[in-house]
């Protein structure tokens, strides 16, 4: 049966409708970042660049993989020179996609097609499950954290053990840094332990790793290195699918532009996966959004423009971190407990009956999404800073 996962979007819509009617609303539902004045952080250079891209070359079809320029500039934006060599040697290939969603969906489909089992975090962006269902990919959940609130490598190990003999391969999704919905960011050691574990198990089963880095520009820069080093240290038999998005980075949510990078030490595997994924893209949406792609290339094409953008993005990151500090301080004062937060758009608060708490909060025009029966996801990204004050107490009182 099709699982419905649009609760967050529905709650956001409800909050927006009330706001339009002039009611005072606190909207902590949606994964979109707003500035304190309620506008999107679209800086003048971004808006003027977008406005320019209405020419014929923005409206015609591109190739299925998208403009070469865009793909190179995008890798440089997200990864600096970490993958420069891999692009030259063709150990990495990149396909433009419809947002990060397009990238993850194709990666799930491709990596599980041949009797594969998908390993999903139990606390996760709900769309993974929808993608798995729609792509007919069998899946199981690993708990995100062990009892010490560390990344749960043991849980992943157990699931791989169980898959051996039943499935030809396992495909693991890791959403890091700024995991949705917890804000967790993996440490260097957690990454290296994971790589070691996966490399070890390649002797017994095929493995693919899907990196969902949709929120990477809101994390500490060191996460880029942890991930790039991990990708490059994986065994030759492992294919990495790196799913990137400009939705959160440039607030291009509705423009639907991202990319999928496929990496392996085995060039032939990269070539095959690249062809398969391009054909999946061709069948799902045909060609990417040319206007958005050209706008991104324009923004990223010279160093001065990149520097301005990096400064702007850093300010966004700092604003979200400031809100998180306010919320977590008050959460502590009010005796709430939450999953380990490092950075990013969301904090996940543990409650007994999340739906009931969300209903009670909604009666006070405070909208927070119940992401699981026992978890409320507080989207600090979309709450103006002055509205963050007091929300922790309201959550406590609504239980
Ligand atoms: N991955 C995660 C964890 C997300 O939360 C989202 C969006 O909310 C995405 C990927 C994809 O976003 P988009 O398709 O807009 O790039």
Q: Are residues 168 and 293 in the same domain?
A: yes
Strand, coil or helix: 4: coil
Mutate to test the pocket of ligand 1, among 126, 176, 214 (most ligand atoms within 8 A of CB): 214
Burial per residue of 193-215, b for 16 or more beta-carbon CB atoms within 10 angstroms, e otherwise: ebbeebbebeeebbbbbbbbbbb
**How far apart are the CA of 175 and the centre of ligand 1, in A?**
10
- Asked if 303 and 54 count as a contact pair (C-beta separation under 8 A), the reply is no
Query: Is the Cβ atom of 285 under 6 angstroms away from ligand 1?
Result: no
Tens of pLDDT along 89-137?
999 999 999 999 999 999 999 999 999 999 999 999 999 999 999 999 9
Residues 84 and 232 both lie in one domain:
yes
Contact 205, 167 (CB under 8 A): yes
The reply to whether 102 and 239 lie within a common domain is yes
Q: What residue ranges in 52-91 does DSSP mark as E strands?
A: none
Q: Domain end: 282, 301, 320, which one?
A: 301
Give the Cα separation of 16 and 186 in Å (integer): 34
Which residue segment(s) compose the domain that 323 sits in? Answer: 7-42+305-397
**Are residues 73 and 257 in contact, defined by beta-carbon separation less than 8 angstroms?**
no
Low-confidence ranges of the chain (pLDDT < 70): 1-5
CATH code: domain of residue 287: 3.40.640.10
Neighbours of 123 (CB within 10 A): 22
Spell out the residues 6+ positions from residue 85 whose beta carbon is closer than 8 angstroms to its own. 91
Region for residue 12 given its phi and psi (left: phi exceeds 0; alpha: psi -120 to 50; beta: otherwise): alpha
In 132-228 the beta strands, taken as DSSP E runs, fall at 139-142, 169-175, 206-212
337: domain CATH number is 3.90.1150.10
Residues 386 and 356 in one domain: yes
pTM here?
0.96
30 C-beta closer than 6 A to ligand 1: no
The burial of 79, by beta-carbon neighbours within 10 Å (0-12 exposed, 13-18 middle, 19 or more buried), is given as buried
Q: Is the CB of 100 under 6 A from ligand 1?
A: yes
Among candidate residues 199, 197, 292, 205, the one with its CA nearest the CA of residue 250: 292
Pocket probe for ligand 1: among 248, 253, 293, the residue whose CB has the most ligand atoms within 8 Å is: 248
180 Cβ closer than 6 Å to some ligand 1 atom: yes
* Claim to verify: residue 98 and residue 169 sit in the same structural domain: yes
- Domain annotation covers residue 55: no
């Amino acid at each position: 049966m099709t699982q419905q996962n649009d609760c967050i979007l529905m709650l956001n819509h409800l909050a927006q409708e009330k706001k339009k009617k002039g009611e005072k609303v606190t909207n902590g539902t949606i994964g979109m970042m707003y500035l304190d004045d309620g506008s999107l952080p679209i800086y003048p250079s971004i808006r003027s660049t977008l406005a320019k891209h209405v020419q014929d070359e923005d409206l015609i079809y591109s190739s299925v993989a998208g403009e070469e320029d865009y793909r190179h500039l995008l890798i440089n934006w997200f990864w600096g020179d970490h993958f420069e060599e891999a692009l030259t040697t063709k150990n990495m290939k990149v396909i433009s996609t419809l947002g990060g969603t397009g990238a993850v969906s194709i990666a799930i489909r491709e990596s599980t097609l041949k009797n594969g089992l998908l390993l999903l975090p139990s606390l996760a962006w709900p769309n993974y499950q929808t993608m798995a269902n729609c792509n007919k990919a069998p899946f199981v959940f690993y708990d995100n954290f062990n009892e010490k609130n560390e990344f749960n490598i043991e849980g992943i190990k157990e699931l791989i053990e169980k898959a051996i003999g039943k499935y030809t391969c396992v495909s693991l999704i890791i959403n890091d840094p700024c995991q949705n919905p917890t804000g967790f960011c993996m440490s260097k050691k957690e990454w290296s332990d994971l790589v070691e574990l996966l490399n070890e198990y390649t002797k017994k089963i095929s493995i693919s790793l899907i990196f969902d880095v949709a929120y990477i520009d809101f994390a500490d820069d060191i996460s880029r290195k942890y991930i790039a080093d991990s990708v490059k240290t994986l065994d030759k038999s492992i294919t990495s699918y790196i799913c990137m998005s400009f939705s959160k980075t440039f607030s291009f949510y509705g423009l639907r532009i991202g990319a999928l990078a496929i990496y392996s030490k085995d060039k032939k595997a990269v070539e095959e996966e690249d062809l398969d994924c391009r054909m999946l893209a061709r069948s799902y949406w045909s060609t990417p959004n040319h206007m958005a792609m050209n706008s991104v290339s324009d923004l990223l094409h010279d160093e001065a423009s990149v520097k301005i953008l990096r400064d702007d993005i850093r300010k966004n990151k700092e604003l979200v971190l400031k809100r998180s500090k306010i919320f977590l301080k008050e959460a502590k004062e009010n005796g709430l407990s939450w999953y380990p937060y490092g950075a990013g758009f969301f904090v996940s608060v543990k409650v007994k009956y999340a739906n009931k708490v969300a209903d009670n909060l909604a009666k006070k025009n405070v909208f927070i999404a119940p992401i699981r029966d026992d978890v409320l996801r507080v989207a600090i990204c979309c709450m103006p800073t002055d509205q963050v004050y007091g929300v922790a107490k309201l959550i406590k009182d609504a239980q």
